[in-house]
Amino acid sequence: MAESEVRLENEAAQSTNALGPLIGVAREDFVSAVALLLRETASDPSRFIRHSTAMAQDMVKIMTGKSDLAPDPKDKRFMDPAWQYNPFFRAGAQYYLAVQKGMKNWLEELELDELERNRANFIANIILDGLAPTNSLAGNPTAQKQIINSGGLSLIKGLQNAYNDLVHNKGMVSQVDKRPFKLGENIATSKGSVVYRDEIMEVLQYAPTTDEVYEIPQLTIPPQINKMYINDLSPDKSVIKWQVDNGVQTFVISWRNPSKEQGHWGMADYIAACERALEVVSSITGSKKVNVSAGCSGGQTASVLASKLAATGNPILGTLTLMVCVLHPKPTDIEAGSLVSENGMQLARQRAMKQGVIKADDLARGFAWLRPNDLIWNYVINNYLLGQDPPAFDVLFWNADATNLSSSLMGDFLTLFETLAFTKQGEVEMAGHKVDLSKVTADLFILGGVTDHITPWKATYRSTQLFGSKDVTYVLSQSGHMQAILNPPGNPKAKYYVQKKKGKLPATADEWLQGTEEVKGSWWPLWMEWVQARSGKKVPAPANLGNDTFKPTDPAPGLYVVEEV
């Protein structure tokens, strides 16, 4: 695998569409952020003149060959030797770095609070990323060499790629070559069957691979914005396979991709569906308890579910695992979050209600422009300037296979964000009850990722303080957003952090980190031991899937993951 392909895969895998407050970013929020920069510029003309003069001095040094500006050795955009030895390209890089330096110095001097500063930095970085000389054929020496080396074929292929994206990908640059993948054949191949289906979901049961299984089953609740087979990409990194191979009776919800007519589906509908799924799993396995696992927005849904079950006195919930999920967000957690405004969220709500759903393509486009260097310009260079196909990786294929988001559910997620509902005790109405996590006493396993920029680990740690659970385990994986979850044994670079001493977790992430130990390897074995210890005794594995009431129908991964909307 080429180094550039690995880089593209890793960057995109860490930039997957994650449902959070960013769904409430409206275009007016971008405009207001730019207006903030212009306002601050006009408020102190002398400051602007001073920084312009400093930038002009840098430009003079560049023109006279006296500039010592040089790219960061780790900046992958300027790895080609031409940036160092060719006077034309060296000057081009220095002009760009001079603008970058000038912008940074100017922003540091602006009188802004933390939220405004994050907003200004975020918008400035988007602008600067777009100005990089590497984004054009004239300013990219690697692309120019590729044209010569290929006899012009790379230029032709690049134009073909651009045309195909314009016609077949709604103008967005492709992040993955989808052609090699087919669901059920070389991706999502674990054996199982749909054992329940209604309008909003399918429940899949996976075939056991051991002679004995633990009596308490596990149900996975996936995000509504992505498809469930992230849990079963390939045999070597399948959470589902890991569970069944370790004797866990495994069930997964597969959400239906909503159309405009289903835009009324809200959190209440999804929670009711989760309650039905728990009943199905309980009926098939004969277990009065069901362990639940969920990630990202699925974790927010599972938390509302746990609150609802506690409020209604339903004892079916066993343990709860939350992966890379933020329940107590703060505007300064990520720079992109600083764009979210009350007015912007209201406008986003109104537009979504008018359309019925937020289209998957629009969601993907919005997320891409929030991280343009990783999700746009990298692929512009690779696909168009170098004339290469985008990488063919399973996680990128899954990420490109996004779903629509119903407007009602979007509104409910924004309500959770605006009201900080999970931090309150019985103050916010959601899914037919007052949300109160302090009444949830299930054992908790919570996962964060060190380099996760979508759900920063310190934000995920705050969830440890919200529940009424006496047994809470927090694990910090040395990975980004998706890699934190897809972290099977065998990776020599894998490691995680866990609290040395058992007992109550500290109030803050910083305090927790001081009392941790580093463990080499994947966190999956630790998690599996934790789950198994809370899954009852071993019983003979079922000979068949489903039961007389819920009979197996279509093979996994089911119909809803391939249904066209």
Active site residues: 296
- The closest of 162, 472, 109 to 321, measured between CA atoms, is 472
User: Hey, CA dihedral for 404, 235, 203, 197, is it positive or negative?
Assistant: positive
What are φ and ψ of residue 331, in 5° steps?
-55, -25
Q: SS3 for 339?
A: helix
Q: SS3 for 444?
A: strand
Q: SS3 for 37?
A: helix
Angle at 95 between CA 158 and CA 369, to 5 degrees: 50
Which residue type is seen at 47?
R
In this structure, what is the dihedral angle of CA atoms 475, 478, 481, 482, given to the nearest 10 degrees? -90
Q: Rounded distance, CA 497 to CA 474, Å?
A: 9
What are φ and ψ of residue 90, in 5° steps?
-60, -45
Q: How many CB atoms lie within 10 A of CB 537?
A: 8
Contact 95, 59 (CB under 8 A): yes
Q: Rounded distance, CA 474 to CA 448, Å?
A: 8
Which residue type is seen at 358?
I
Helices (H), 2-113: 3-13, 27-43, 45-63, 82-85, 87-109
In this structure, what is the dihedral angle of CA atoms 122, 126, 131, 135, given to the nearest 10 degrees? 140
Contact 484, 448 (CB under 8 A): yes
The tokens of 532 are what? 């198994």
- The closest of 215, 286, 200, 292 to 252, measured between CA atoms, is 292
Which residue type is seen at 412?
D
Q: Rounded distance, CA 233 to CA 252, Å?
A: 14
- The closest of 110, 119, 129 to 34, measured between CA atoms, is 119
* C-alpha separations of 545 from 150, 189, 229, 291 in Å: 55, 16, 19, 18
Q: SS3 for 477?
A: strand
Q: Rounded distance, CA 140 to CA 80, Å?
A: 9
Q: Rounded distance, CA 512 to CA 498, Å?
A: 9
- The closest of 93, 421, 397 to 232, measured between CA atoms, is 397
